[in-house]
Chain A
């Protein structure tokens, strides 16, 4: 299906809320759950979820939601996740992706990492304007959401120690909450030139959030997510 048709499928408000709900969960979502979250009947939700799947915006599978298996575990339920494919429409036709890839390729070949990071940091600062550094994690999430990063808070005490390159933070055992991001706005270019573009992304976020403020951005890459996490600055942890 053409991108413009897929995007047009989001014109319907119920369908759009269902899409946004599924996308925000970052996991498989069943029909009942989606219907409840959006506040519509299950049959209506099922209809729209299947339309979103047909248009390629969602992917569907089947899974036993009870967690049981074998005879008597019940029929598998249909579940939905966001499709990984990108959709974009440009009128008139423009192709910034190719321009970005060519510029990245040239920057990579010339070893321009440091210059690119400096430009990204300056851009982040400009985007922040004269505002003070980001005041806290909630503030940071608003800023990140506005730039398409799809931030979510990874809570304290989840048992998942933040084990980045600098090692466990070790502040009394419980992991401090960090903001992780489901979406990388530079995904396609980042996949082709990871160190260059991920370094650019980190510098952009450092500029955007502000240096020496209450929060800081740090590289902590994981499969399927943005390479950066945002957390409270060390000097801010009492």
Chain B
């Protein structure tokens, strides 16, 4: 079991959240949400454990990217630990956005938040993120795609970390033995 304890250090937690807008973003009824975007995003960037978030090129956020539908905004980010993401989501100014979510967003019957582990250094694509969400919706929580309420550790998810393109596993330095399936990214 000792080898698997090294896995969490090599893994980061990715997060995708989709939200269906009740009104267009320029509607006055959405003004309070839009006003919170910049301060809350700035708070995320400054949170310990924050690694990366999706931003549209030339913009401050990803609200105009609509890969999941015309009226669906996406929020995607990467964190060092589950705790860091949880504290940001629910123990920062972001909680106020969550508290008022029914004013601005339609209620989702299906899962709207998905978490999954990625090798540290890997930045997930939108396609990859939507696949994880589809996986969660189809199969329920698993080490491949899960939620806060039913989460898995990076070690548990070790075999499900995004496979790296043609990792030259056999060429790796023999001085660093790593367990099959848990090879950290260099």
Contact = CB atoms under 8 A, between A and B. Distances in A.
A203 to B, nearest CB: 10
B19 to A, nearest CB: 12
B66 interface: no
Nearest to B149: A192
A202 B99 CA distance: 10
A41 to B, nearest CB: 40
Interface string A203-224: 0000000000000000111111
B93 A164 contact: yes
Interface stretch (A120-128, A152-160, A193-201): A193-201
B149 A165 contact: no
A113 interface: yes
A111 B102 contact: yes
Contacts, number: 49
A167 B39 contact: yes
A225 B40 CA distance: 19
B107 A111 contact: yes
Contacts of A49: none
A194 B98 contact: yes
A165 B93 contact: yes
B87, B89, B90 — which one has the most chain A CB atoms within 10 A of its CB?
Answer: B90
A114 B95 contact: no
B76 to A, nearest CB: 19
Contacts of A198: 90, 95, 99
B92 interface: yes
Contacts of A227: 91, 95
Interface residues of A, number: 21
B84 to A, nearest CB: 10
B164 interface: no
B152 to A, nearest CB: 17
Nearest to A117: B99
A227 B96 CA distance: 10
Contact of A195 (B39, B40, B95): B95
Contacts of A223: 87, 91
A194 B149 CA distance: 11
A195 B99 contact: yes
Given A165-B36, A194-B90, A221 B107 contact: no
A74 B36 CA distance: 49
Nearest to A193: B149
A192 B149 CA distance: 7
B29 interface: no
A167 B87 CA distance: 19
Interface of B: 36, 39-40, 87, 89-93, 95-99, 101-102, 107, 149
Interface of A: 111, 113-114, 163-165, 167, 192, 194-195, 198-199, 202, 219-225, 227
